[in-house]
């Protein structure tokens, strides 16, 4: 990747966005998203690039005039209890130090709409907030709902009995959810796909 595209290497000559609404948010490649995450993520700069993770990953960036200001990586949920097809987990969300204020909540809202439009099978978005580092403000501002709060020191099992070994802290984790499509809406879409001539669809 051309490293001049990273805000970390700004020379001070390029114009910078003053509002998150100026950012262009769009899908990107695994390579670009993981490189940006390695630069900016405060606790988890790496993500295991297994074939299963990469094949289901959906990645986004926030860009302004050729410079990146944030990156996000979504995959199937790690927790075995969550449906792998209808749920999508935000595994990494990294924002540069000089991104406009409220970039996080703005990007969450835009990504939810992009995922809703592009992935008709996805009904619920999920993410986990490290309570020792973040307050969860960006999720609340983007209309997400706080659900389960794990206890400090909790460990849990992922798919196929795997322990989630990426955690670097035993602090409590707040789970946030965002429903982007109801089961009824999903059923209507499925019926329409099978029979496009159904009235009212």
Domain residue ranges of the chain, discontinuous segments joined by +: 3-194
- Quote the pLDDT of residue 17: 95
CATH number, domain 3-194: 3.40.630.30
Taking the model in full, what pTM does it have?
Answer: 0.78
The residue ranges of the chain whose pLDDT is under 70 are 1-14, 45, 49-52, 151-170, 184-201
Give the dihedral sign, CA 139/141/146/150. Answer: positive
Query: What is the Cα–Cα distance from 73 to 57, expressed in whole angstroms?
Result: 7
φ/ψ of residue 144, rounded to 5: -80, 160
CB 35 within 8 A of CB 1: yes
At 28-42, the pLDDT tens digits run 999 999 999 999 987
Looking up tokens 């009235």 gives 199
Please list, in sequence order, all residues whose beta carbon lies within 8 angstroms of the beta carbon of residue 193, skipping any fewer than 6 positions away. none
Q: What is the mean pLDDT of the chain?
A: 80
Going by DSSP bridges, is the β-strand pair 124-130/173-179 parallel, antiparallel, or unpaired?
Answer: antiparallel
How does DSSP classify residue 81?
T
At 128-138, the pLDDT tens digits run 998 888 889 99
């Amino acid at each position: 990747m051309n490293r001049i595209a990273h805000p970390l290497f700004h020379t001070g000559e390029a114009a910078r966005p003053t509002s998150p609404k100026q950012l262009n948010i769009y899908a990107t490649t695994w390579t670009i998203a993981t490189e940006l995450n390695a630069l900016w993520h405060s606790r988890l700069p790496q993500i295991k690039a297994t074939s299963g993770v990469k094949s289901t990953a959906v990645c986004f960036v926030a860009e302004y005039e050729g410079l990146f200001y944030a990156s996000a990586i979504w995959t199937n949920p790690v927790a075995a209890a969550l449906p792998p097809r209808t749920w999508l987990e935000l595994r990494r969300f990294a924002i540069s130090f000089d991104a406009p204020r409220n970039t996080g909540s703005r990007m969450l809202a835009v990504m939810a709409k992009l995922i809703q439009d592009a992935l008709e099978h996805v009904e619920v978005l999920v993410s986990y907030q490290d309570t020792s580092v973040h307050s969860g403000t960006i999720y609340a501002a983007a209309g997400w709902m706080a659900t389960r709060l794990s206890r400090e020191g909790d460990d849990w099992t992922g798919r196929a009995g795997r322990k989630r070994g990426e955690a670097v802290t035993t602090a409590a984790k707040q789970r946030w959810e965002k429903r982007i499509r109801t089961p009824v809406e999903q059923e209507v879409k499925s019926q329409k796909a099978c029979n496009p001539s159904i009235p009212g669809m």
